[in-house]
């Protein structure tokens, strides 16, 4: 019976050490995961408000004053990517 009790104590001590290690690891990942959550929330917001994306693209065009044809091509590529993501039948969640 004493052997069982000693083994139990060792296992409980090992569990406590593992819990402490997991807590340390979780704290290290907390910041990067918050950044990822904010990025996903931003992506979902832009997907549900495509007009904002168009306005931002127009602003960039005015600010940088690059050739209109280049922006038309970029806009077309972005539009096709948006359409492809929209038809992919998945939702990014924050």
Q: Does residue 92 fall inside a structural domain?
A: no
pLDDT digits (tens, 9 = 90+) for 53-71: 888 878 777 767 666 677 7
| Rounded Cα distance, 80 and 59, in Å | 20
- The residue segments making up the domain with residue 56 are 2-86
> Are the CB atoms for 71 and 78 separated by under 8 Å?
no
Question: What CA–CA distances, in Å, run from 52 to 26, 80, 89?
Answer: 35, 17, 22
The average confidence (pLDDT) of the chain is 84
- Number of domains into which the chain is organized: 1
Residue 89 predicted with pLDDT over 70:
no
Q: Does residue 16 fall inside a structural domain?
A: yes
pLDDT digits (tens, 9 = 90+) for 6-46: 999 999 999 999 999 999 999 999 999 999 999 999 888 88
pLDDT at position 91 is 57
- Residues of the chain with pLDDT > 70, as a percent, come to 85
The residue ranking higher by pLDDT, 1 or 18, is: 18
Q: Does residue 8 fall inside a structural domain?
A: yes
Q: Does residue 70 fall inside a structural domain?
A: yes
- Which helix (H) or strand (E) segment holds residue 65: the answer is none
């Amino acid at each position: 019976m004493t052997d069982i009790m000693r083994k139990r104590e060792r296992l409980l001590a090992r569990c406590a050490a593992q819990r402490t290690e997991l807590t340390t690891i979780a704290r290290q990942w907390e910041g990067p995961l918050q950044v990822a959550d904010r990025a996903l929330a931003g992506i979902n917001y832009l997907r549900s408000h495509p007009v904002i994306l168009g306005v931002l693209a127009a602003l960039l065009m005015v600010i940088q004053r690059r050739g209109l044809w280049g922006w038309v091509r970029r806009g077309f590529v972005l539009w096709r990517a948006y359409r492809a993501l929209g038809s992919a039948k998945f939702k990014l969640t924050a």
